[in-house]
Amino acid sequence: MRTAFDFAPYRRSTVGFDRLFDLLETGMRGDGVDGYPPFDIERQGEDSYRITLAVAGFRPDEIEVVAQQNQLTVTGKRAEDKDEGQYLHRGIAARPFERRFQLADFVEVRSAGFDNGLLRIDLQKIVPEAMKPRKIEISGSTPANDRIEAPKDENRQAA
């Protein structure tokens, strides 16, 4: 079964969408991401979003959230544990992680919070006034002034 899609025909007929096609191809490959930590992306309004990551076993000071250009990076690195006991089974992940999210233009991180092992990152799309669509007034003369009059017949005189 073929799992790859060839974007070459689309690349030839479009201009300026290289980044989009690169993101699609990267997402299809998976880049070896193991899916840790699991996360949800929730739309909370027309221009607001929330990313929630399940980071059980990490403290807030062991997690770093960095927003740079159109990318959000969440990194977690646990402090060294002093083994005070013998574990028969250790199922809570203690390995470091790095999770990257591509952000659309004008999406900004508004806040981040940590509660009950969940890291919540609130995002907001803020489009500058200069980029918003605006209605342009069309100026011109009134329709009465644009009327075309038929040429007057000089042979025809008023009685």
Class of domain 34-80+92-129 (CATH, top level): mainly beta
Domain extent listing, the chain: 1-32, 34-80+92-129
pLDDT higher than 90, residue 2? no
pLDDT higher than 90, residue 113? yes
- pLDDT computed for residue 32 by the predictor: 41
- pLDDT computed for residue 87 by the predictor: 81
β 97-102/63-68 pair status: unpaired
Across-strand partners of 122?
50, 111
Q: Is 58 exposed, middle or buried (0-12, 13-18, 19+ CB in 10 A)?
A: buried
Q: What percentage of the chain carries pLDDT values higher than 90?
A: 38
Alpha-carbon distance of 123 to 133, in angstroms, equals 22
Q: What percentage of the chain carries pLDDT values higher than 70?
A: 67
Q: Residue 65 in 3-state DSSP? A: strand
Q: pLDDT for 10-43, tens place per residue?
A: 766 666 666 676 766 665 554 445 688 999 999 9
Mean pLDDT of all residues in the chain? 81
Whole-number Cα distances in Å, 123 to 32, 62, 68, 108: 26, 21, 13, 6
Residues 46-60: what's their mean pLDDT?
93
Alpha-carbon distance of 83 to 87, in angstroms, equals 9
Q: pLDDT for 60-102, tens place per residue?
A: 999 999 999 889 999 999 887 666 778 888 888 778 999 999 8
